[in-house]
A and B are shown apart, each in its own frame.
Chain A
């Protein structure tokens, strides 16, 4: 739910509650005041009635004064508390009963006691309350409507700078040269937000550049000593006095250097991938690249008497050529490395997926572990980073990679 909707809902709830409570209080207050006024009127008429009785000096008569009913009843009671009360009033003109208000009191006349009851209509007061209620309700509805419309349109306008900022953040790419700008806003909060984001993006970009620098420097620092060792060995093997055993040792050193430089490159590539430092995406026709790869690995296949069985349909992806090369090299390399002599590699490519299926050991590998760093078979000569690279490259492009084993066939399936 949007913030403006939240705000509208809350403000409408509060307004409704306050207004309803106000209306109740208002109703009672008006009722009370109206009653007070009626009672005052009654009191006045009572005084007039008493005056009339006293001055006329004869038995009080029933009379209608301004349609007010006054009734005199002789009574033996000596004491009667004056009281006001609600009753019904018979409107003689309209010939119907209406709500009424009455007062009763004791009037003394020549030792005789009369109870006097004066009744007046409450219709006027009821009408007044009705009118006031209608006006109040109309006001309430109007207020709610205005509130709703204001929130809907005015708040949206107020939030516009925020939406612009949000859009810019979504489009922010750390590798871009463009920096976060933010539309200037007169609203203090938004201006502050923009300022904070601008500072943050600058800091992040700075850290990113630092990291990139570090990645390059680390590569430099490690590769140069390796280059020194390699060239020293290249010089050393020119010595004709070296015997077979010494040369065998040197061969092993060559292999180790090769492995450590490969390892170093893989680690740097992983770091680059994790920091999303590789952005050179181009359209790549996978079926073409796969055909080239099969040719490239042909000799390695022949030494183990392996054969390819391809079934390639056209499929284009948007990716870095370099990363796709590494991805396929690792998958092919594994399929060859862990194959049985005379085995087969089935490569299937269609619009949805690429699967590389090879014959091999008669047991399944652990799918949870094989993609982890430095998890490799005991007899494997690899760096232990190959499948980790494969997984990270897949993640980088939003592909999923699965491993599956079924009766002697190991399958790596890549779903685009």
Chain B
């Protein structure tokens, strides 16, 4: 997957690029509107990560450019503005998703993968990871060609882990992904454990490998 990160905050840009630059992904970055438009006219990307507040203009201009030039990059907006108007405006002018700062890198990656999957749905609606096959359209999961029944939360969690395979994910990030950041979970993450335990048991029962490891009290890792 080829990704362009448009973000003016340098350390944020570097962290994002480093996190995404795995599994054969090619991740490029730029910090301003002009250079972004230049890169977009020179190359094709699968996905664009777009910060709305740029030093030399509004990120919305990138969306306008993509639309007028009939380019079909998937766009994920990352914005500090948590205003509904901006969210709706962004989605209206062609963005595929909207993520509010601060966010977890795991969340960013999962959203980006979802955007990419939606873009390539016609050619590729099966997500295959070793013995696990996920039909993202029908929301069904097979392990070794045997269907397993997952709850909605377990299914979301599995997709989330596969998108971030090989990475340690904090419980905070998992909780935010599953319950949204509007909900205050009171720093009580016991219920994550229940979901993880169930998911792991279902995968193991169907003959899958044990991919999930707990990282002390901090979080989990899906070994890829």
Contact = CB atoms under 8 A, between A and B. Distances in A.
Interface in B71-99: 78, 80-84
B56 interface: no
Contacts of B84: 280, 322
Nearest to A239: B168
Contact of A302 (B81, B191, B218): B191
Given A230-B102, A230-B104, A329-B184, A219 B82 contact: yes
A224 B82 CA distance: 12
Contacts of B106: 234
Contact of B190 (A244, A297, A303): A303
B182 A220 contact: no
Interface stretch (A136-144, A188-196, A253-261, A398-406): A253-261
A258 B179 contact: no
A155 to B, nearest CB: 47
Most chain A C-beta atoms within 10 Å of own C-beta, residue among B9, B11, B53, B80: B80
Interface string B146-167: 0000000000000000000001
A337 interface: yes
Contacts of A235: 15, 18-19, 105
Interface in B170-205: 170-173, 179, 181-188, 190-191, 194
B105 A248 contact: no
Given A224-B101, A226-B101, A303-B190, A237 B16 contact: no
A251 B78 CA distance: 24
B217 interface: yes
A241 B182 CA distance: 34
Nearest to A296: B183
A227 interface: yes
* Residue among A251, A296, A302 with most chain B CB within 10 A: A251
Interface residues of A, number: 49
B219 interface: yes
A213 B219 CA distance: 38
A288 B185 CA distance: 22
Nearest to A297: B183
A234 B11 contact: no
Which of B15, B184, B194 has the most CB atoms of chain A within a 10 A radius of its CB?
B184
B101 A265 contact: no
Contacts of B80: 219-224, 227
Contacts of A257: 102
A232 B170 contact: no
A329 B183 contact: yes
A211 to B, nearest CB: 13
B102 A326 contact: no
Contacts of A268: 82
Interface residues of B, number: 44
B211 interface: no
B26 interface: no
A164 interface: no
Contact of A238 (B16, B167, B184, B191): B167
Contact of A333 (B103, B170, B186): B186
Nearest to A277: B83
B172 A237 contact: no
B216 interface: yes
B19 A234 contact: yes
Choose among A224, A254, A280 the residue with the greatest number of B CB atoms under 10 Å from its CB: A224
A299 interface: yes
Contact of A300 (B9, B185, B218): B185
Nearest to B53: A220
Contact of A216 (B81, B182, B190, B218): B81
A235 B100 CA distance: 19
B128 interface: no
Nearest to A226: B102
Contact of B187 (A232, A255, A265): A255
Contact of A237 (B103, B184, B186, B219): B219
Contacts of A224: 9, 12, 80, 101
Contacts of A386: 184
A273 interface: no
Nearest to B83: A216
Given A220-B81, A224-B101, A296-B183, A232 B215 contact: no
B173 A231 contact: no
A175 to B, nearest CB: 11
Nearest to A229: B102
Contact of B11 (A228, A261, A325, A326): A228
Interface string A283-308: 00000000000001101101100000
Contact of B182 (A229, A280, A299, A325): A325
Query: Closest 8 CB pairs between A and B?
Result: A223-B80, A227-B102, A220-B80, A227-B101, A226-B102, A234-B105, A231-B15, A223-B101
Given A219-B82, A234-B104, A300-B188, 18 more contacts: A216-B83, A222-B80, A223-B102, A224-B9, A224-B101, A229-B102, A231-B12, A231-B16, A234-B106, A237-B168, A238-B167, A244-B216, A254-B170, A280-B84, A303-B188, A329-B183, A333-B186, A381-B187
Interface of B: 9, 11-12, 15-16, 18-19, 53, 78, 80-84, 100-106, 167-168, 170-173, 179, 181-188, 190-191, 194, 215-219
22 contacts: A216-B83, A220-B53, A220-B81, A221-B80, A224-B12, A224-B101, A227-B78, A227-B80, A228-B15, A229-B102, A230-B102, A230-B104, A232-B11, A237-B170, A238-B167, A248-B218, A255-B187, A265-B82, A300-B186, A300-B188, A333-B184, A381-B187
Interface of A: 216, 219-224, 226-235, 237-238, 244, 247-248, 250-251, 254-255, 257-258, 261-262, 265, 268, 280, 296-297, 299-300, 302-303, 322, 325-326, 329, 333, 336-337, 381-382, 386
